[in-house]
Structure 1
Amino acid sequence: MRGIRVPLWLAALLIALLAAGGRADAHAVLERSAPEPGERLATGPGEVRLEFNEPVDASIGFLRVLGSRSERVADGDPAVEAGGRTLRLSLPRLGEGLYTVTYRVLSADGHPVEGSYVFVVGDPPEAIDASVFDLHRQLGHEGHGEGAATQLSTGEFLLYVVRIFYFGALLSAAGWFIWSAWAPRRSRSFDAGFRDWSSRWGLWTARAFLVAALLYVFFHATELMEGQPGSEWGTLFLETNIGRGWAVLLVLALLGPLVRTASRAVGLIWAGALLLVESMSGHAAAYEQAWLTIGTDFIHLAGAAVWAGGLAMLAGLWFADRKEAARFAAVFSGPALWSMIALAASGLVTAWMFLPGPDYLFYTGWGTLLLVKTGLTVLAALAGGAIRLRMRRGGMPQGALLKADAAVMAAIVIIVGLFTHISPLPANEPVYAHKMGEDMHLTLRVSPNVPGDNRFIVKVWLPEPVGEPKSVVLRLRSEDRPEAGPIDVPLERYEDDEFDQFSGFVKTAYRAEGPYLPFAGKWTAEIRVTDSEDNEKVHLETFRNY
């Protein structure tokens, strides 16, 4: 026994030291941060500072700041101060928006410590989704069209037909005014017969556009004002941007046949004004930097008018006078090629500005139609290149190529008529999840479920013998940023008066409001419920927003 006393005493001493060390080297805890979680700042901070209760090792982990699209806004490693207890990361100048601080470090005992929180700079605009393109909501017609039928009604079919007719007439009319000013200056070989035919063609395109504009405004305004009193029509055309744009559009359409006989400069101004009004009435006007999106859309429409309007003239002239068609084709082929390049470039820029990422092309019908339109544009460019190559060799444009190019143009106009009436972004839907179980019922609500401020509600039902939970924790994890730490949502208990009781269960309700969904994407809500006997139940609920 004496021989083992010393080893026993040494073992006891070692166990005591380890226990003491365990108490001293518990996992590190974030004690203070600047900016603070949920803090709203007038201007962006110059740095992020995290203070822990003990030294941490950031050489293996990271400290990052993410922007409203989950992109990194600060590069570099954090500075370590106060013996490893403080981490500092310098920031560039931050604009208005929601920013996420996410960190992952090692505590002194080698365990990873992670977390995330959100702070706000300025007064950032609300997240953009399909709701921003809802004209009914902009006019205060909340709830209009909810529960619409899944089949295409006769009225909706006529609306799409009118839209296709409208865009075809718009591009043809604007294109004729552009080409009537361009073509005669580029070729002196056009005879009186061409000028007479061109004048008659311009008259018919101007008249067609007038009819199309009247039908377009009538059908859209009727659909928009369905169920509204007659007094609201004045509000539509006098006090809303879309209504004022339609009024200007109708004035331009009425002036079209008269402008046809004016000077070339007046015709170009008319065509430019028409394309600008259309650019300001579409999706481009819904974005924050409207001057950029509208300008890009204007370039896109101008390129389409040069190509589609000129191609329509060439196709019509082909059946009227092949000789004059060949002369016009020689003038048309060069600008048409450049207009296709402008179409492709402005289309790419527009999609980049409209969509948060390439994956959004597959979320809506708008993206699908855009992909189809892009493929047709490539085919049109190939057909146009073949026509131009044949013309440069001194040959006549082939009828088959002209027909193929015209068919592709018609298909593109049909797609434009469809997808300009579809939201480029998906619609966000509130989260409502309810789980029934033998030992717990659970409800999670997130509304409106957009990047930014949201309201979170968690309801828990536990069996009466168990009683109310000791604690309920809600954490949000980004599935798109799996390396980022979870965001804790500070739930507060409240008295819920909704009638959703379950026999044999006790209900407790919790809620929180704030910017705890800082960017769009796929999220997992982790709900941890600890009962009075310290038993923990975990529920995971996955959802996404746009």
Structure 2
Amino acid sequence: MRAIGRARLWTLVFIILAAAIAVAIPIRAEAHASLIASEPSHGDELDAVPDAVAVTFNERLESRLYFIKVFDAEGNELRTPGARMSDDRKRISVPFPGEAEGRYTVSYSVISADGHPVAGSYFFTVGRDQEAAGSGLPDDPTAGRPDAIFFLVRGVLYVSMLFAVGWVGWGAWIAANADEGVRLRYRRWLRRILLVFLAAQIAYAFVWLRDIRATTWDGALSALVGTSAGTAAVAMLGLTAIGVPLLGRWKLADAGWILLLVTAKSMAGHPWAHDPRGLAIASNGIHLLGAALWAGGLLFLVAFWRRHRDAAAAFAPAFSSAALISVLALAFSGTILTLLYVPKVSYLLDAAWGRLLVAKVCATALVAIAGGLLRRSMRRSGRERALRPLLLLDAGLMLVIAGLASAFTYLNPVPENKTLDWHDMHGTVMVAAQLVPAGEGMHAFRFDVESTDEDGAPPKRVTLLLSSLDRREVASILVPLERSGGDGAYRAEGPYPPFPGRWNVQLRILDANDDETVFEKRWTTY
């Protein structure tokens, strides 16, 4: 009874954790390749037409399914030759087709090396039509923002993949240690799991093609055979289809199938987009194998506990030892992948990817606690019936972890640089500021200073200083400001700050009476 009571307690903890994760961590699709520069830039005011239009990204792109389109002020698309990609696959460009003055809109669409669509639009003007000119890059939206159905299908795919690989992996132990009735039922379950996995892959292919806007036959074919994500999906689909009639017969064939499937899965997504690529792919493969070993063994215990309790009880010690190895493999490979994906550990909680990762680690810690309770209950009481609630708790936590993993593996590990809007007032001095990313380490600064004094005299001097909070040995950096428009408007643009990190922005305003007001704001760049 004590084991059941403890299981109920931890089941309640699991429910609370799952609810907290669902409420506290909103999931928003984030582009894995981020726009870092455009030529011309968003809002540029040009005296003459440019020679070309180009966009540059921070990561490699897929070599197909990309374009740049240019529209005039009336919304008519201007005819351009096909966009060309640079040798490093981070920049695409087209010759500029316009000749007249006016406003032009540029629309681009690419697929990052990990299969995530990235699209956006911006404008610039040539000549005197400059009503809405600005500076800096706009927010970088993604194409086809995934909805709940997308993440649901992806979750089913991820869980079914872990079950399939783990179930096949445990086949050798079943064949050597179980009776004929258990082996027969194992093979029936194997076919069912593979068919669910096959159906999940087909469903995910449709939602992924919709997400990247490959909705025509030509576009779908190009995406499936011309991108790393598509090629990996086709390879996994073929392996699963072959595996339905053949797996479970020969140990060597089963091991080869697992190796090929895990390799195919690891050669897309985050591992394919990060360097060193070989280390990323190997670490991801180890991570998948560790998770699959745990998931497949847990599924066997839950599925066989009622009708084949003796076989499940005999399997439990082997599973317990394997689960410990799995946790160690997950911790080791997960640490390597995190260090490869995130430039600084301090960035971890600044993006949804990192927050979901922390939630996954917390859920894994609960799994370790549940596993400890399971082993202690088995040693002390020897009552197998009391173990079922703990098994169900372990299975529930596994589904939570797999769901979290399926979500954050689609998100960007690195936080996006976003516009900082800053409004403050000290005494009679008000400041409205905007710090805008302008690509490739560039930022645009806009400050509007206003006094509520009766005379409303403009400030005598305005000074902008940036101080690194990560590297105290770096002296404060003076950012040169220029007056723009009204008496209290100031602007600056350039490579400030010179490197990413946490910064203190200090604006010092000296009025006509030589009284100084200081405004400060913390700011992080990535």
Query: Once the 2 structures are TM-superposed, how far is the Cα of residue 402 of structure 1 from its aligned partner?
Result: 2.0
Matching residue of 1:213: 201
Matching residue of 1:167: 158
Query: Once the 2 structures are TM-superposed, how far is the Cα of residue 405 of structure 1 from its aligned partner?
Result: 1.9
Report the CA distance shift for 1:534/1:234 in structure 2 as closer, same or farther (over 3 A).
farther
Matching residue of 2:188: 200
Report the CA distance shift for 1:171/1:439 in structure 2 as closer, same or farther (over 3 A).
closer
Aligned-partner Cα distance in 2 for 1:400–1:441: 60
Query: Once the 2 structures are TM-superposed, how far is the Cα of residue 206 of structure 1 from its aligned partner?
Result: 0.9
Letter in 1 for 2:287: H
SS in structure 2 at match of 1:319: coil
Q: Does 1:381 align with 2:353?
A: no
Aligned-partner Cα distance in 2 for 1:457–1:359: 25
Aligned counterparts, 1:278-293, within 5 A? 278-293=265-280
Which one is further off, 166-175 or 421-430?
421-430
Letter in 1 for 2:230: G
Aligned-partner Cα distance in 2 for 1:381–1:136: 32
SS in structure 1 at match of 2:465: strand
Matching residue of 1:478: 468
SS in structure 2 at match of 1:428: coil
Tell me the alpha carbon deviations over residues 484-534 of structure 1, each in whole angstroms, 9 at most, x when there is no partner: 31123466x69x8xxxx44xx48675443x363313223315466899x99
Report the CA distance shift for 1:526/1:392 in structure 2 as closer, same or farther (over 3 A).
same
Aligned-partner Cα distance in 1 for 2:116–2:410: 16
Q: Does 1:524 align with 2:524?
A: no
Matching residue of 2:398: 409
Report the CA distance shift for 1:183/1:137 in structure 2 as closer, same or farther (over 3 A).
closer
Matching residue of 2:442: 454
The alignment's C-alpha RMSD in Å is: 4.4
Matching residue of 2:321: 334
Matched-pair contact (CA < 8 Å) for 2:508–2:516:
no
Query: Once the 2 structures are TM-superposed, how far is the Cα of residue 396 of structure 1 from its aligned partner?
Result: 5.8
Matching residue of 2:170: 179
Q: Residue 305 of structure 1: which of 284, 292, 303 is its match? A: 292
Matched-pair contact (CA < 8 Å) for 1:364–1:424:
yes
Matching residue of 1:422: 411
TM-score (norm 2): 0.63
Query: Once the 2 structures are TM-superposed, how far is the Cα of residue 199 of structure 1 from its aligned partner?
Result: 1.0
Aligned-partner Cα distance in 1 for 2:154–2:253: 27
Q: Does 1:141 align with 2:129?
A: no
Query: Once the 2 structures are TM-superposed, how far is the Cα of residue 466 of structure 1 from its aligned partner?
Result: 12
SS in structure 1 at match of 2:500: coil
Matching residue of 1:487: 477
Matching residue of 2:312: 325
Aligned-partner Cα distance in 2 for 1:341–1:191: 31
SS in structure 1 at match of 2:442: strand
SS in structure 2 at match of 1:141: strand
Query: Once the 2 structures are TM-superposed, how far is the Cα of residue 297 of structure 1 from its aligned partner?
Result: 2.1
Between Structure 1 and Structure 2, how many residues are aligned? 398
Matched-pair contact (CA < 8 Å) for 2:119–2:140:
no
Matched-pair contact (CA < 8 Å) for 2:191–2:244:
yes
Aligned-partner Cα distance in 2 for 1:403–1:439: 62
What stretches of structure 1 of length at least 5 have no aligned partner? 1-122, 127-131
Report the CA distance shift for 1:458/1:329 in structure 2 as closer, same or farther (over 3 A).
closer
Query: Once the 2 structures are TM-superposed, how far is the Cα of residue 472 of structure 1 from its aligned partner?
Result: 6.5
Which one is further off, 201-210 or 293-302?
293-302
Identity of aligned residues (%): 29
Aligned-partner Cα distance in 2 for 1:140–1:440: 38
Q: Does 1:260 align with 2:251?
A: no
Matching residue of 1:156: 147
Query: Once the 2 structures are TM-superposed, how far is the Cα of residue 292 of structure 1 from its aligned partner?
Result: 2.4
Query: Once the 2 structures are TM-superposed, how far is the Cα of residue 470 of structure 1 from its aligned partner?
Result: 9.1
Q: Residue 344 of structure 1: which of 319, 323, 331 is its match? A: 331
Letter in 2 for 1:325: A
Letter in 1 for 2:294: W
Letter in 1 for 2:321: G
